[in-house]
Amino acid sequence: MSIGTCSDERQASPLAGLTEAVLACRACQEAGFLQRANPIRPAVLDDARMVLIGQAPGPVTDRKGYHFAGPAGTFLSAWLDRAGFPAGYFREHVYLSSLTRCFPGKSASGNGDRQPSTAEIGLCRHFLDWELEGLNPRVVLLVGKMAIDAFLGKQPLERTVGRVFSVHGRVFVPLPHASGVSRWLNTPAHRALLDQALGELSRLRVELNL
């Protein structure tokens, strides 16, 4: 799939108008979920080969203004290296997105970031559907339990990470949360599941010429 960067190509793209619509969105602020909506600008890639969907922007992404600008991006890029993708592939060929596009703020306990509510995810979902319809990716990486649950139904991470799921001709690859503070990966058995998931991704890289 190819997403042009010049204005003529953007006009012809099924994602034309997405950036403006996202940046103008204040739905969660107007509904009282956010004090200040600050949507992250959608990516524009010349050659997007996969779509990656995370939970929500973190504070670094909120500050810098592009998806996965913080530690999670560093981890995910390293995971793709481990799956045999060439250096730079993460930023050049993976269309990065998330269930919601505004930093939800810190959790009430002050321990980590607040998870977006079901209502916020619902308000933001049409942007994600627009991207998936426009890009029509063969492979979608789902990062973290919330993103996995949104597409594959609620189930423990242990039942999804390490496997691939084919739904209506699209392959979904679940991955754990990649923030670097995820305790899930402290368990050797869970790290083995991540290895398995990256092995599956490596297999898809070759089979689908990603």
Residue number, 82 or 125, with CB nearest to ligand SF4: 125
Closest separation between CB of residue 45 and ligand SF4, Å?
Answer: 20
Closest separation between CB of residue 3 and ligand SF4, Å?
Answer: 20
Question: What are the distances in angstroms from CA 12 to CA 3, 8, 46, 200?
Answer: 10, 7, 13, 34
DSSP H helical segments within the chain, as ranges? 7-12, 18-24, 27-30, 59-64, 71-82, 89-93, 118-135, 145-152, 188-207
Report the DSSP beta bridge partners of residue 172: 140, 165
Residue number, 124 or 142, with CB nearest to ligand SF4: 124
Residue number, 131 or 200, with CB nearest to ligand SF4: 131
What residues between 1 and 60 interact with ligand SF4 by CB under 6 A?
Answer: 22, 25-29, 37, 39
Residue 100: how many other CB atoms lie within 10 Å: 27
d(CA 96, CA 141): 9
Mode of pairing for the β-strands spanning 165-167 and 170-175: antiparallel
Among residues 133, 118, 121, 123, the alpha carbon closest in space to that of 14 is found at 133
Residue number, 26 or 159, with CB nearest to ligand SF4: 26
Residue number, 77 or 100, with CB nearest to ligand SF4: 100
190 binds ligand SF4 (CB under 6 A): no
Mode of pairing for the β-strands spanning 94-98 and 139-143: unpaired
Closest separation between CB of residue 186 and ligand SF4, Å?
Answer: 30
Total residues at the site for ligand SF4 (CB under 6 A)?
Answer: 14
Binding mask 77-106 for ligand SF4 (x = CB under 6 A): -----------------------xxx----
